Structure 1
Amino acid sequence: MHVFYTLNRLGAKGIAFALDSALFGVLDAVEALTDAATVTDIAHALDVDQPRASRLVARAVSEGLLRREADQADARRVVLRLTPKARTELSRVHDARRAVFARTTAQWSSRERAEFARLLTRFVTDFARTVR
């Protein structure tokens, strides 16, 4: 997550987003967890404590980016789901990230881009495993 947060921050220079990067982190985490995250999931994904995650989630809910639902399997558990507004904002972020990668690798060969994608994927997987 840290890698993508940094890339998003660097890639967003000169692009006006409606939300701050902390909320993008929350939305990214919910999206990565197939749109059914808990506050605890958010805390782990962002590497923050539970109170900080709760405040970020509350902000995202109040801004209409997340909705809280009772878990169908356990009514005591609350899951967070992305709203259409969040999906629109995430789409804009994904487009910005792709544009940064395209600009950055414009002079690279197809082979170099494929190798970079393979190594970046491996790095993210190994990074996640290392920092757990």
Structure 2
Amino acid sequence: MARLPESDPAVASIERAMVAIRRSQQRRRLARAASGQVPRGVPPAVIAVVDALDELASRGVDAPTVGDVAGAMQSDPSRASRAVAQAVEAGLVRRSADQEDGRRSCLELTARGRTLIEKVRASRRRFFAEATSSWSRGDREAFAALLTRFTTDLDALLGPDDED
């Protein structure tokens, strides 16, 4: 892979855009945009677990474990385990023994968890639809393809996050 110079204007624009995205996440603007969908008192880590289980299901992962959730969340297993315990306590996730290995616990969204993630996803999509409402369909499609490619390449470059 060719290495681009750090002074490339496009790389500088990407860096500025990523900082702006990070700032908006830190201020939890997107979380506030979806806040009407999240029950009061449900911590962001629990929503991350529900998101991760939804993502794993969409990828065809059958009977995901805490380790699978940790990988999807890009978090360490102990942090993911605590968040999963909170999600179970909140009634959003069900834990059951693996039929093939009773020492393993499998996780699944409860009906309440599925309803919550559907509402949160719909709220996020409305937010992003509004943010891109002045764009052409082609621009949205190109952005979606490039952003997906970028996050995939960024994840491959960064690897797992061991500091979470």
Please tell me whether the aligned partners of residues 12 and 96 of structure 1 are also in contact (alpha carbons under 8 angstroms): no
* AA partner of residue 78 (structure 1): S
Name the structure 2 match of 1:97. 124
Please tell me whether the aligned partners of residues 66 and 82 of structure 1 are also in contact (alpha carbons under 8 angstroms): yes
Name the structure 2 match of 1:46. 73
- Alpha-carbon displacement from aligned partner over 1:48-84 (angstroms, at most 9, x marks no partner): 3332222111111111111111222322211111000
Aligned-pair distance for 1:44? 2.6
Name the structure 2 match of 1:21. 44
Please tell me whether the aligned partners of residues 30 and 36 of structure 1 are also in contact (alpha carbons under 8 angstroms): no
Name the structure 1 match of 2:99. 72
Aligned-pair distance for 1:123? 1.6
Please tell me whether the aligned partners of residues 98 and 105 of structure 2 are also in contact (alpha carbons under 8 angstroms): yes
Q: Structure 2: which 5+ residue stretches go unaligned?
A: 1-20, 160-164
Name the structure 2 match of 1:12. 31
The percentage of counterpart residues that share the same residue type is 44
- Which shows bigger deviation, 82-91 or 38-47? 38-47
Q: How many residues of Structure 1 are paired with residues of Structure 2 in the alignment?
A: 126
- Alpha-carbon displacement from aligned partner over 1:15-71 (angstroms, at most 9, x marks no partner): 322133211101111111116321122223323333222211111111111111122
TM-score normalised by length of structure 1 = 0.83
CA RMSD of aligned residues (A): 1.9
TM-score normalised by length of structure 2 = 0.69
For residues 56 and 73 of structure 2, the distance between their equivalents in structure 1, rounded to whole angstroms, comes to 13
For residues 131 and 73 of structure 1, the distance between their equivalents in structure 2, rounded to whole angstroms, comes to 34
Give secondary structure in 1 for the equivalent of 2:101: coil
- Alpha-carbon displacement from aligned partner over 1:66-104 (angstroms, at most 9, x marks no partner): 111122232221111100000011011101111111111
- Which shows bigger deviation, 13-22 or 101-110? 13-22
